[in-house]
Amino acid sequence: MNKFHKLICIILCLAAVFALPLTALADEEETTNYFDYYGSDLDNEDEREKDKNAFDAASEFSNPNGRLLVVSNKGDWRNFPENSLEAVLSAFEKGADIVKVNVKQLKDGNFVLMADDTTGRTCYGGDDKPLKELTAEEIKKYRLLSGVGEKMSRQTNFEVPFLYDVLGAVQGKGMLMLDFDWALRDVLYNVVKDRDMLGDVIFYTEAKAKDIGEWASGLEVKPHIMSGYKSNIVFMIGSYIKKSFEGGAEAVRLATKNPYGVIFDNFTMKKFESVGRAAIDLTDPNLCGSREDTEKWWNDVVSRGYSIIITDYPEELSEYAKETEYAKTQLREAYKRYKEQWVLPEFKSYTFGDYKRAYLWAVSDAEEYLSGRVRSKYDYLTARAALERAAVNIEKNFTALQEGVAGLTITPPRILVAALSIIAVVSVQIYFHKKKKTEEKSVKC
């Protein structure tokens, strides 16, 4: 047999040797696309929690490790005028846990829901008059413009809502977050107290942490408080967070227009651990480092430690929050199955320790994600996929590993490939052998 014939035989033999590992890799590629599988699992799940009213928003707000909270900015203003009673109620129906509204005081002391100090942008009434010059009777003559108002908006039949009426209408539906002038804190507090709504209202303020603490300490019943701070200086942010929580705040909204601002820094976010909640406003690029109000950035900010998101898309964010809780539940079930109910085999060889290390890392990540603050949907999905994959790899390969073969499982396709390779080697050998005999006879003749 010449060198060329020997080379062909060697190549075919090598093909037979590598046939099993190659088919093993092919099988793994087809069966380990865990992220896509779990994604579809979420879309088809029919038993997820749908009754938002059963969820105690106030209790969750006070829990530093509570679930992701959805705050609708000015209500469902895409379908109703901003800050209208109808927009507030619609936002709750769409799944919002909290609705953030702007509160202003009229000339006669009554409070209404409106973002501006004048009527021009959001009201149809023929003028642009300061609210502090209007009484309750006068404001009732105005009608709200659709959406966020301005010149191109249409007139509606919705009236400017009074805070007193809104408090009564939303009771039991969720929490109301009041964005107000700090100078009006005592009067506003008494209005909420008189309506017996202190447990369902969040006072939002950007006042100094020291002032918040002094005010809260002097109250007979401390209300829910969320403070707000806009800065990009590490030590100032850390100091404000600490003093806010010491003063009675349960959450702090951080803001910056810098896309790489320190509000997203790991050191800063650790200030919230087991103390209070971190909130972020995605409705304005100048408040969230130029991020957008989309699922991509919801995953981003929640992964960084934020558990309260102020949004213009309450329905979509509410669905994301439900999917996040579902993904967490699935991770918990996988952890119980592969950590608490499954026994990790003891490998005799250290050669294949990568499988065990991958499993232990996946278990550690799962434990971290299931304890402490809420994580993003993406975090839970990837953690579950890693744990499932690590455990399946061990179960699938343990017997083979004990025998010293790296990850081979005998299956019909692999047997077929190996058999065909062997047949090819034998056939080539026979062919060249017959050809050699024929050539030898020709020479003799």
**Residue 216, CA distances (Å) to 141, 207, 224, 362, 380 in order:** 37, 12, 10, 44, 37
Q: Is residue 33 scored above 80 in pLDDT?
A: no
The type of residue at 386 is A
Q: What is the pLDDT of residues 153-206, one digit of tens each?
A: 788 999 999 999 999 999 989 999 999 999 999 999 999 999 999 999 999 999
Mean pLDDT of the chain: 83
Read off the tokens for 247.
Answer: 């003063």
Q: What is the pLDDT of residue 44?
A: 43
Structural domains of the chain in order of their starting residue, each with its CATH number:
58-321 (3.20.20.190)
Contact 125, 155 (CB under 8 A): no
Q: What is the pLDDT of residues 279-326, one digit of tens each?
A: 999 999 999 999 999 999 999 999 999 999 999 999 999 999 999 999
Read off the tokens for 374.
Answer: 């809420």
pTM, two decimals, is 0.78
Confidence at 46, pLDDT banded by 50, 70, 90: very low
Q: What is the pLDDT of residue 207?
A: 96
Sign of CA dihedral 313, 319, 322, 326: negative
Alpha carbons 2 and 7: distance in angstroms, whole number: 9
What is the pLDDT averaged over residues 346-351? 61
Residue found by looking up tokens 């010491």 in the block: 246
Cα angle 71, 72, 75; round to 5 = 150
